[in-house]
Amino acid sequence: MFVSIGIHAKPKPGKEKLLIDSMHRFGAAMKTQRGLQRAHALHDSESGALIGLAIWDSKKDWENARPVMLEAIKDDPFEEWEDEPPEVYSLDEV
């Protein structure tokens, strides 16, 4: 099992929907790829953070899927939507 987590901790006010739409495009592309078990776009109501969570069969499946996922969001102006880049975690089961 391999888990990918992206934490968009600082969406700019009024830009949350644009960022969520981007996360949904990324997720839709992800769902076409082999090895994906689950994918979720989540919101923390206390901090306002938006979190993407994906569980894969393997890190290799995630690596193979990356080009398709990145293509889905290649033109998204994240610097206009967030005050800082997301924290991204690539987690192997231990």
Confidence class for position 77, pLDDT limits 50, 70, 90: very high
pLDDT band for position 81 (50/70/90)? very high
Beta-bridged to residue 5, according to DSSP, are 53, 89
Tokens representing 74 are: 């290649």
User: Which helix (DSSP H) or strand (DSSP E) does residue 19 occupy?
Assistant: helix 16-30
Domains of the chain plus CATH, in order, are: 2-92 (3.30.70.100)
The predicted model scores a pTM of: 0.92
Distance of alpha carbon 50 from alpha carbon 87, whole angstroms: 11
Which pLDDT score, from 0 to 100, does residue 4 have? 97
Separation CA 65–CA 93 (nearest Å):
19
21-73 pLDDT per residue, tens: 999 999 999 999 999 999 999 999 999 999 999 999 999 999 999 999 999 99
Beta pairing, strands 50-56 & 2-8: antiparallel
